[in-house]
Structure 1
Amino acid sequence: MTDIVTLTMNPALDISTTADRVVATDKVRCGVPRRDPGGGGINVARVLTALGEPATAVFPSGGHSGRALEDLIASEGVRAHTVTIRRSTRESFTVNEDRTGLQYRFVLPGPELAAVEVDACLHALASTAQGARFIVASGSLPPGVPVDFFQTVADVVSGVGARLVVDTSGPPLRALRRGVYLLKPSIRELRDYVGHDLRSVDDQVAAARAIVDRGVCAVVVVSLGADGAVHVTTEGAEHTRSLHVPVVSGIGAGDSMVAGIVFGLTRGWELRDAVRYGVAAGAAAIGSPGTALCDRAEVDRCYALLSSGGAGET
């Protein structure tokens, strides 16, 4: 039994490297590659495990890349419940350009899942989630998975008594209707969701509150990048500011934020403190190289700095 279970329907073997310069047509000579497990829920489980709150990652896996992914997850001490699929797990590729500091990210769509494989993932989630307190469903959906899949997950989770946290975008986000405890869109994803600009914090709060008022979820946490996060409930809203940190890599920052929030909630913290810890985890991840995520010491340092500076009420 575990308190936290994560679900990743489109995991990836993340490969990152460096190059002096990325030039079209010419061969781009790269540095030594780094390989990490990837995909929203898998990253959340990795960060939670690093923070000292073990989580079980549920995900489909296939082919040589899938086996490499499983080996990497095991090497980090993350518990896993895999569903074997016929096609190979996708790979993603990131190049950090030394000359400019720019980062180029190439994200593949993932293998098409058969209906029986999608059902197997749902069964694996239901069995693993028995007794869990939080379920985190995060990331994109690969081909073959219905657009309302996360709503199906919400219905499954309601049967096991856990709180559901969802971090997704586009049509799967718009298909959610009920049963979510916490929804974590980025500002770009929330803007796409409502179909218009959200220029001020008041605009962001209004858009998030409309989602809460429709009964989709109890809490919306909008990640604002360098500006931190805004969280909204029926009782009010609060803006948590972030830290100014050198940007080394943006990979996994949102997943780290989700993990930090869930970590705090699992420990029984107030929502504002959990969100602040999530913002700290996101800031720590931004300072990590390539596809690496944050570590506990840096998250705690960032959290202490944020706590001493306070947060702004909205």
Structure 2
Amino acid sequence: MIVTVTANPSLDRTIAVDRLRRGRIHRAASDHVDPGGKGVNVSRALVANGHPTRAVLTTGGHAGAELLDLLAEAGVPVEEVPVSQGIRSNLTIAEADGTVTKLNESGPALRPTEIDELLVAAIAPTLDRAASWIAGCGSLPPGVGADFYADLVARARDAGVLAAVDTSGPALAASLRARPDLVAPNRDELAEAAGTTVATLGDAVTAAEALRTAGAHAVLASLGPDGAILVDARGVHHAEAPLTGPVASPVGAGDAALAGFLAAGGSGPDALAAAVAWGTATVALPGSTMPGPADLRLDTVRLTADPDRGRLLR
């Protein structure tokens, strides 16, 4: 079982318009509401593909109640930690040409007792050795210190469970000091964490190696249309897959990729190929819809060991 931890879940509403014009009234072509938060998305993707998971998350307010209803409809097992303030609602505006504009709220301020309850709830499924991974994912709400994921990684290690972290900024930097088994940044997060620019495949590899030097055992870095790289003790692997149709929404693609990687064993090139298949399938789906087995095309993934480091990223 894969346990996901989402300290800052959300309701995610996606509205599709032909073209966004500032200061104008628009009529939506469609709208869609999904459970949100990176860890929540990872669990949703796992459930959609028949893999056992448990989503540990905070809940509060009317949005929290709706989130729980949506997760129940999706069949996602939940361990909720009630908090005193309502969870956030995010808005995504998707234009016909593939441009996506996101408006994300910061989320509720958590009390110290609520933070402790969340960490305890995260470790609880590991006590009977039922869990193989704990994945701490997403931004941290107000009141939660940057060392939250480092604490989570340390607790996972004490429980004998592998730990993955998918976050950014100070929280990612702090988590490296706890030596997580896996970190899963996107291109921008990778560049920020390594303090460098990532313009080529070689830049991405160098930045990933810097994160390994800082403490991560393995780095799974999503590179958008250029696929993803895996840098670990075995070396460097790159995988990519062609899109089979137009981009509907890139929201949640990185979360699906992490889910695919963990579902395929959480290490090695085969897991990287699964990550790219899951992530690629997601961008063809509306809103933050997670792919199911019928959407996945593992046969189209191109996997390369020691790829061309001079290749420019799009």
Same fold (TM over 0.5): yes
| Equivalent residues of 1:260, 1:274 under 8 A apart | yes
Name the residue aligned to 2:150: 151
Distance change (3 Å), C-alpha of 1:92 and 1:241:
same
Report the 3-state secondary structure (helix = DSSP H, G, I; strand = E; otherwise coil) of the residue aligned with 2:264.
Answer: helix
Specify the code of the residue in structure 2 equivalent to 1:205: V
Q: Quick one: distance in 2 between partners of 1:96 and 1:226?
A: 18
**Pairwise CA distance, 1:187:** 1.4
Report the 3-state secondary structure (helix = DSSP H, G, I; strand = E; otherwise coil) of the residue aligned with 1:265.
Answer: coil
Q: Is 1:190 the equivalent of 2:190? A: yes
**Pairwise CA distance, 1:49:** 0.7
**Pairwise CA distance, 1:163:** 0.5
Distance change (3 Å), C-alpha of 1:198 and 1:33:
closer
Where do 5+ consecutive residues of structure 1 fail to align? none
Q: Return the match for 2:299 from 287, 304, 308.
A: 304
Distance change (3 Å), C-alpha of 1:103 and 1:199:
closer
**Pairwise CA distance, 1:166:** 0.8
With 11-20 and 23-32 compared, the bigger mean Cα shift is at 23-32
Specify the code of the residue in structure 1 equivalent to 2:123: A
| Equivalent residues of 1:164, 1:179 under 8 A apart | no
Q: Is 1:169 the equivalent of 2:168? A: yes
Q: Quick one: distance in 1 between partners of 2:283 and 2:173?
A: 28
Distance change (3 Å), C-alpha of 1:117 and 1:226:
same
| Equivalent residues of 1:158, 1:179 under 8 A apart | no
- After the TM superposition, which segments of 4 or more aligned residues of structure 1 sit over 3 Å from their partners? none
Q: Deviations over 1:201-234 (max 9, x none)?
A: 22222221232233x2211111111111111113
Q: Quick one: distance in 1 between partners of 2:92 and 2:210?
A: 36
Pairs within 5 Å for 1:94-109 = 94-98=92-96, 100-109=97-106
Name the residue aligned to 2:264: 264
Q: Quick one: distance in 2 between partners of 1:16 and 1:310?
A: 33
Report the 3-state secondary structure (helix = DSSP H, G, I; strand = E; otherwise coil) of the residue aligned with 1:218.
Answer: coil
Q: Return the match for 2:37 from 12, 36, 39.
A: 39
Q: Quick one: distance in 2 between partners of 1:11 and 1:101?
A: 25
Q: Quick one: distance in 1 between partners of 2:183 and 2:16?
A: 34
| Equivalent residues of 1:4, 1:56 under 8 A apart | yes
**Pairwise CA distance, 1:102:** 2.7
Distance change (3 Å), C-alpha of 1:115 and 1:279:
same
Q: Quick one: distance in 2 between partners of 1:103 and 1:207?
A: 26
| Equivalent residues of 2:259, 2:275 under 8 A apart | yes
CA RMSD of aligned residues (A): 1.6
| Equivalent residues of 2:269, 2:303 under 8 A apart | no
With 109-118 and 252-261 compared, the bigger mean Cα shift is at 109-118
Q: Is 1:120 the equivalent of 2:108? A: no
With 176-185 and 246-255 compared, the bigger mean Cα shift is at 176-185
Q: Is 1:202 the equivalent of 2:197? A: no
Q: Quick one: distance in 1 between partners of 2:220 and 2:95?
A: 32
Report the 3-state secondary structure (helix = DSSP H, G, I; strand = E; otherwise coil) of the residue aligned with 1:311.
Answer: strand
**Pairwise CA distance, 1:129:** 2.7
Q: Return the match for 1:278 from 275, 278, 281.
A: 275
Name the residue aligned to 1:136: 135
With 185-194 and 81-90 compared, the bigger mean Cα shift is at 185-194
Name the residue aligned to 1:250: 250
> What number of residue pairs does the alignment pair up?
303
Name the residue aligned to 1:14: 12
**Pairwise CA distance, 1:105:** 1.6
With 137-146 and 24-33 compared, the bigger mean Cα shift is at 24-33
Residue identity over aligned pairs, in percent, reads 35
Pairs within 5 Å for 1:211-250 = 211-214=211-214, 216-245=215-244, 246-250=246-250
**Pairwise CA distance, 1:104:** 2.1
Specify the code of the residue in structure 2 equivalent to 1:250: P
Q: Deviations over 1:68-126 (max 9, x none)?
A: 0001001111100000011001001112234x443222111111111111111011112
Q: Return the match for 1:295 from 292, 303, 309.
A: 292
Name the residue aligned to 2:51: 53
**Pairwise CA distance, 1:32:** 4.8
Distance change (3 Å), C-alpha of 1:199 and 1:21:
closer
Q: Quick one: distance in 2 between partners of 1:95 and 1:204?
A: 29
**Pairwise CA distance, 1:179:** 3.3
Specify the code of the residue in structure 2 equivalent to 1:147: A
